[in-house]
Chain A
Amino acid sequence: MNEAVAHAIEISWLWLIPFFPLLGAALNTAFGARLQKRYGKKANHAIAVGVMVASCIVAEVAFWSMFARPAHERFFENHLWTMWQSGSLKVDLSFALDPLGMVMTLIVTHVATLIHVYSVGYMADEPAYWRFFLWLNLFVFSMLLLVMGSNFAVMFFGWEGVGLCSYGLIGFWYTDVEKAKAALKAFVVNRFGDFGFVIGLFILFWSLSGVWNQQARYVPEPGLAGPALGAQVERPRVSPAGVPLGPTIEFRELRNQIADESSGMAGRLGAMTLFGLPVLALIALGLFIGATGKSAQIPLYVWLPDAMAGPTPVSALIHAATMVTAGVYMVARLNFLFALSPAAMTVVAAVGALTAIFAASIGFFQYDIKKVLAYSTVSQLGFMFIGVGVGAYWAGIFHLMTHAFFKACLFLGSGSVILACHHEQDMRKMGGLREYTPITRWTYLAACVTIAGFPIASAFYSKDEILWKAFTARGLAAPWIGPAIYLIGTVAALGTSFYMFRSYYMTFTGKYRGGAGHEMKETEEDPHAMAAHRHAAAADRSFDVTAAAAEALAASVPHEHGAPHAAAPAVHEEHDHAVPHESPKSMTFVLIALAAASVLAGFIFGWPAAWGGHGPLLEHWLSPSLPAQEKVPFAELPRSTELLFQVIGGVLVAGGGWFVAWALYAEDRSTLPARLKAAFPRAWALVFNKYYVDELYDATVVRFSLFASRALYWFDQNVIDGLVNAVAAVGRAVAYADAAFDQKVVDGAVNLLADAFLHGGAKLRRLQTGRIQAYLFGALAGAIAFVIIQYVIR
C-alpha cells in the first residue's frame, strides 16, 4: 500500500461535533428571550454551555478513537449528503477529521467551552444575555464547519460563517456607533480577503481539469470547456497508484493527487501557467490573501484592533484563540499545495515576519489594554505564518495551539481587569491591581511569561521552533531569506516580551490610579479625527499624570462614569468605584485552567528534538496530515547550534524585553518613558497612531471605494435609470396613442350605436301616447289604408 495515499474511514457520528453548538444556537434563537424572561439567565447559559460540553465530549471520543489507530488510518470522514453536482463539480456536505483537524477541533471546542463558562460571569449584567450566547454558539458551529469541512465548500461556508458571527459579536452593543462601525470594518476588510480566497479556489479547480490519457499523462484542455458533447474521450481518471484524478474540491483527494508521485500532478501543476504566471503561485497567493484577511496580516490586519469593541470573551475566543487562526490552519491544511511554490512560501513567511515586527512595534505605546493584546495577536499570527511559510507546518500549528491558550488567558485576564476597574480599559487608570485581584494577576503573569518565551513556558518551544526553522529554511526563493526572517522575528520577539511586561507592570504594579473619576482619554476618541500633535499633547498631559500618581489624583476632575466608553450598559453600579474587585469564581477558574494549559502545553507536546528523547509529540502526531513536511528542505546544523539559538531566544530575548519593561514601567518609579516621549514627540506620535495606516487606507482604499460607489451611483441614477425611463417613456407614448384610439374610435363606435338607439327610441316613444283613442285611430287609419290599397292595386 502506498503510504502517500490517505484512505478515509467513514465515522457516522462526526457530524455531532458541529451539530451540538448549532442546536444550542437554534434553541437560544427560538426560545432564548422567553426562557430568559421566565426562568432567568440560567436557562440560557445552561443550554449554551451544555451543548458545548456535549460537543467537547464527542470531540474527545473522536480523538481517542483516532489515537487508537495507526498513523495511516487516521483519516476520518463523515459524508452526509451531496449538496449539488454540476459537471465535474461535486459538492458534498461532509466532515473530515485528520490529525491536523483533530488538533484544531480539540482546541476550538475546549477553549470555546472555557470561554462560555467565563462569559457566564462576565456577561451577568447583560440584558440581551440570550443573544450573546446564541451568537457564541453559532460562532463555534461555523468554526467547526471551517475546521472539519472535508472540502473547500464546507470550509468556505464556515469561513464566511465565522466572519458573520464576528460581525454580530463585535457589534454586539450595536447602539454604540463606534462599535457598529468596527463590526462593519471587520466584515468589509474580510470581504477583500475572501475575494482572493475565491479567486485562488477557482484557479485551483480550473487547473485540475483536463483529460487524462492512457499513460496518465495530462492533455491540457483550452480553458474550462470539456470535450465536445458525445465525443469519445479516453479519460482514465485514476493514477497508477489508484488515486482518482481530476477536478475536486475535497481536501483529501487533492492531497492524494499531489502527494502521489505516480500521478504526475505535482509536476503538471508546476508547469502550468495562466496569463504567463505560474498557476501554483497564483493559487497559493489567492488563498493566502484570504488568510491575510481572516488572520489579520499585512495589509488586511486593520480590522482586528478595532474588533476589540466586542465583549472581552469574544475578543478572547474569536479574535485571539480561534477564528483569526483560520488562515494559518488553511495554509497548513493545504501544505502540499503551498510547498510546491517557493515563491508563495516566501511571500507567506515574509508577510508573517513583517506583520510580526510591525504589529509588535505598534503595541509598544498603546494604553488600551485590549489594544495591546490585539496588536500582540496580530504579531503572534505573524509568527505562525512564518512557521507555515518556511515549511515548518507543525511548528505553526503548535504556536497556534499555545497561542490559543496563552492569548485566551491574557484576554480573559484583561477582561477580569476591566471588570475589576469598572469597565476601564486604559492602563493609565489601572495600576496596583495585584493587591485586589491576586488570581488574575498570577494568571496574567504566567501568560506573560509564556508569550515572552521564557524556558519551560510553552511559547518558548513553539516560537523558538519557528525561528529555528526559519533560520535553517532552504525551501524559500533565496537562501538568505530564512536568516533574514529569523532576525526580524527575533526582534519582534524582543518587542513582544517588552510590551507584554509593560502591560503587566502598568496594570498590576504601582498604585491604583483609577477611582477618582474618569478624565478624557484619547483612546476614546476617533483616531482619524485627531491631529497628531493634539494627540501627542493630550497623551503627554495624561502621561505626566502617570508619572506622578498622587498629583493626578488631586488634579483630575471627578465627573460621571464615561457613558460612551462603558463596555456594558450601567453595570456594577452598586460597587464602590474606588476599589477594584476580583472577578467571580466562574471566571477565575477559567483563568487558572488556561494559565495552566499555556504553561504546560509546551513541553508536553513540543519537547524539542535537540534535547534528546522522542522529539516533539505534536510533530509526530501531525505528520500524516502534513505530507509536505518532509519535502521542504532545511539546512542540517548541529544540535549545539540549536541549543545556542534557544538560549538566545528564550533567555536573552525574553529576558531583555522583560528587563527593559521592568526598568521603565515597574512600580511607576521611572520617569524615563515620559522624558523619552517628550524628546521624540513625532516618532512617538507616529507609532502611537499606528503609523497612520488607518488614515492611509481611509485616504486611498476607502475614499476610492466611496468615490467609485458614488460614480456608480451617478451612473445608475443617470444612465441606467435614464435607459429605464426612456423605455418607460416609449411605453407611455404608445399607451397614450392606444388610449386615444380606444376612446375615440372603439368607444366612439359603441357610443354611436347606443346614441342611435337612444335617439331613435326617444323619437319613437312619442307614438306611445297612452290614449286608447289614438291607437284606435291608428288602427282605423290602417284599415282604411288597406282598403284603399286594395282598390288601387286592383
Chain B
Amino acid sequence: MTTIQLPHFLIVGAILFALGMVTVVTRRNAVGILMGVELILNAANVNFIAFNHFVEGPAKLTGQVFSIFVIVLAAAEAAVGLAIVLAIYQTFRTIDVEETDLLRE
C-alpha cells in the first residue's frame, strides 16, 4: 500500500507553482496576474509545510511559521497590488497589461 510521501506534496506544489507562473505570464488582466501571484505563494507554502513535516519532523514548527509569514505577506501584497491596479485603471481606463507599456520609455 502506498502512503502519501514527500514527493507527492512536492508534485502538488510544483503543479501549483506552474499554474501560477503560467497565469502570471499569460493573463492580460492585472487582477488575474495578482491571482497567479497568490498561487505561486501558496505553492511555496505547500513546500514549506511538506519539508517541515517530512524533513524536520512533525514536532518542529519552523516551516509552519514561515508559511504564516508568507500568508500575511500575501495579504499585504494583494492590498498593495490591488491599489496599484486601481491606480493603473484610473490612469489608463483599462487594466489590460498589454496596454500599460509606459515602462518602455
List the interface of chain A (C-beta within 8 A of B). Answer: 768-773, 776-777, 780
Contact = CB atoms under 8 A, between A and B. Distances in A.
B69 to A, nearest CB: 24
Interface in B5-26: 21, 24-26
B98 A776 contact: no
B4 interface: no
Contacts of A770: 100-105
Contacts of A776: 24-25
B97 interface: yes
Top 6 nearest A-B pairs (CB, nearest first) are A770-B104, A770-B101, A770-B103, A771-B101, A777-B25, A768-B104
A587 to B, nearest CB: 100
Contacts of A777: 25
A298 B5 CA distance: 145
Nearest to B21: A780
B97 A772 contact: yes
B101 A780 contact: no
Nearest to B28: A773
Interface in B86-102: 97-98, 100-102
- Range, interface on chain B: 10 to 19
A771 B97 contact: yes
B4 to A, nearest CB: 27
A777 B33 CA distance: 13
22 contacts: A768-B103, A769-B101, A769-B104, A770-B100, A770-B101, A770-B102, A770-B103, A770-B105, A771-B98, A771-B100, A771-B101, A771-B103, A771-B104, A772-B97, A773-B26, A773-B33, A773-B97, A776-B24, A776-B25, A777-B25, A780-B21, A780-B25
Contacts of A780: 21, 25
Nearest to B105: A770
Interface string B36-69: 0000000000000000000000000000000000
A776 B21 CA distance: 9
Interface of B: 21, 24-26, 33, 97-98, 100-105
Contacts of A768: 103-104
B16 to A, nearest CB: 16
A586 to B, nearest CB: 98
Contacts of B104: 768-771
Q: Looking at chain A's contact residues, is the secondary structure mostly helix, strand, loop, or mixed? A: helix
Most buried by B among A772, A776, A780: A772
A771 B98 CA distance: 7
Contacts of B24: 773, 776
A769 B105 CA distance: 9
A410 B52 CA distance: 144
A788 to B, nearest CB: 16
Nearest to B30: A772
B88 to A, nearest CB: 11
A768 B102 CA distance: 10
Given A771-B98, A771-B104, A773-B24, 6 more contacts: A769-B101, A769-B104, A770-B104, A772-B103, A776-B24, A776-B25
Contacts of A773: 24-26, 33, 97
A786 to B, nearest CB: 15
Contacts of B97: 771-773
A747 to B, nearest CB: 32
Nearest to A781: B25
Nearest to A768: B104
Nearest to B104: A770
B42 to A, nearest CB: 18
Nearest to A766: B104
B38 to A, nearest CB: 16
B100 to A, nearest CB: 8
A532 to B, nearest CB: 102
A532 B87 CA distance: 115
Nearest to B22: A780
Nearest to B24: A776
Contacts of B26: 773
A768 to B, nearest CB: 5
B84 to A, nearest CB: 11
A364 to B, nearest CB: 109
A319 B67 CA distance: 128
B35 to A, nearest CB: 14
Nearest to B27: A773
A771 B102 CA distance: 8
A776 B33 CA distance: 12
A780 B103 CA distance: 19
A610 B98 CA distance: 139
A65 B67 CA distance: 132
A455 to B, nearest CB: 122
A780 B24 CA distance: 11
Nearest to B102: A770
Nearest to A772: B97
Nearest to B26: A773
Nearest to A776: B25
Nearest to B103: A770
A772 B104 CA distance: 10
Nearest to A771: B101
Contacts of B25: 773, 776-777, 780
Contacts of A771: 97-98, 100-101, 103-104
A772 B33 CA distance: 11
A445 to B, nearest CB: 114
A308 B88 CA distance: 106
Contacts of B33: 773
A770 B92 CA distance: 15
Most buried by A among B98, B100, B104: B104
A90 B19 CA distance: 113
Contacts of A772: 97, 103
Contacts of B98: 771
B91 to A, nearest CB: 14
A769 B104 CA distance: 5
A784 to B, nearest CB: 10
A537 B69 CA distance: 139
Nearest to B33: A773
A73 B68 CA distance: 134
Contacts of B103: 768, 770-772
A772 to B, nearest CB: 7
A73 B83 CA distance: 122
Contacts of B102: 770
Contacts of B101: 769-771
B56 to A, nearest CB: 27
A780 B21 CA distance: 9
A99 B70 CA distance: 129
Contacts of B21: 780
A777 B24 CA distance: 9
A777 B100 CA distance: 16
A777 B104 CA distance: 16
A773 B26 CA distance: 7
